[in-house]
Structure 1
Amino acid sequence: MNKVSVFLHHLFRYIWNGIFIISYPVLATFGLLFVGITYVFSALSKLLTKLRPQSDEEVTVYKSSWEVLPNTNGLLEAKVYKQIMFGPSCFQLRRKDGVPSVLEDSIFGGKVRFIDEGILLEKWNATESKDLPDFDICLYDPDSDKLVSLTTIKCFDWHLSERVENNLMFKWFDGTQGGEVKVVL
């Protein structure tokens, strides 16, 4: 390189470094200011939430009329009890023939499976978002109107994977880990 190109190279390097040194405090100040404003609005939001009067009523997002539950051969009717925001719905169930049933005392999920012994239902132990998922997989015998809890599963993603004689195998996956539960009828 000749002397002119070396001189221009050093000149442009010093100019670039100068621009960076001058603009860095401005960029850092903007970043700190942005974080500070976000923190202030977050604290203000928490304060306003605490000042809001608490309501004892449970808010139901969606209500419907009684409708025949699919996959039950017209035996059961369902009514939406609560819709979990960004999650599943839970239902009140009753028999379509009008006979009083043990189903009316519990809340159920939308998974319904027929097996020879009866109907597999997902009975919810809680309806609050913070307590979910917490389900009992139950067997409902419509002839004797009995609801028998088979196992408890703590995730939304479960299914009946295998049946061998009187043994049912349920598989579940909660997003990070999975497992199997074997139940004897």
Structure 2
Amino acid sequence: MNKISIIFHHIFRYIWNGLFVISYPVLATFGLLFVGVTYVFSALSKLLTRLRPESNETEEVYDGSWKILPNTNNLIEAKVHKQIMFGPACFQLRRKDGVPSVLEDHIFGGKVKFIEEGVLLEKWRTTDSKDLPDFDICLYDPDSDKLNALTNIKCFDWHLSEREENELMFKWFDGTQGGEVKVAL
């Protein structure tokens, strides 16, 4: 190299090193602030989670024993049949009073909703994870021990949105699209 290029090389090297020495504390401070802000928001999130009231709507049973299913007025017991990886569990159901029931012949999801006419349950058609979600929303009448299929839904995110005289309106959302299903009782 000639002398001029060596001089320019040394000048630019000193400028580059100077920029690095000046900017390093700024970059390190930014990194520390970022970690600190993340820690503060994490602590705030934990605090707010503890302040949230307990909800009885979605309790899940995961051990192998029979337990009373939440929101069933001590009528139905559940036992885990299968836990879908990265998904919900399916249950075997039976009546707590010991009466043989049509419930024992099927596999159900964890959503249970009491209405005047009976109990809304999701009866799974299959437990094979590649075919899920595929289930019927059924109305179980505990007095006559009948299970009446109301509609078929192919997503886990559904709820009873409206109720009119003899009709129920279910809303569902599968992550990309949603819909409504109106069924007659």
TM-score tier (shorter): 0.5 to 0.7
Task: Report how many residues are paired.
Answer: 130
Inter-partner Cα distance in structure 1 for 2:92 and 2:134: 17
Inter-partner Cα distance in structure 2 for 1:75 and 1:83: 23
Inter-partner Cα distance in structure 1 for 2:129 and 2:64: 21
**2:138 equivalent to 1:138:** yes
Shift in Å, 1:64: 1.0
Q: TM-score, normalised by structure 2?
A: 0.67
Question: For residues 106-117 of structure 1, what are the structure 2 equivalents within 5 Å?
Answer: 106-117=106-117
* Amino acid in structure 1 at the alignment position of 2:160: L
Inter-partner Cα distance in structure 1 for 2:141 and 2:120: 9
Inter-partner Cα distance in structure 1 for 2:74 and 2:181: 30
Contact 1:63 1:82 in 2 (8 A): no
Contact 1:63 1:81 in 2 (8 A): no
Report the identity percentage: 82
Q: Give the 3-state SS of the residue equivalent to 2:93 in structure 1.
A: strand
Contact 1:64 1:79 in 2 (8 A): yes
- Moved >3 Å (runs of 4+): none
Aligned CA RMSD, in angstroms, stands at 1.7
Q: TM-score, normalised by structure 1?
A: 0.67
Query: Which residue matches 1:129?
Result: 129
* Amino acid in structure 2 at the alignment position of 1:87: G
Shift in Å, 1:63: 4.7
Inter-partner Cα distance in structure 1 for 2:145 and 2:180: 28
Q: 5+ unaligned residues in a row in structure 1: which ranges?
A: 13-61
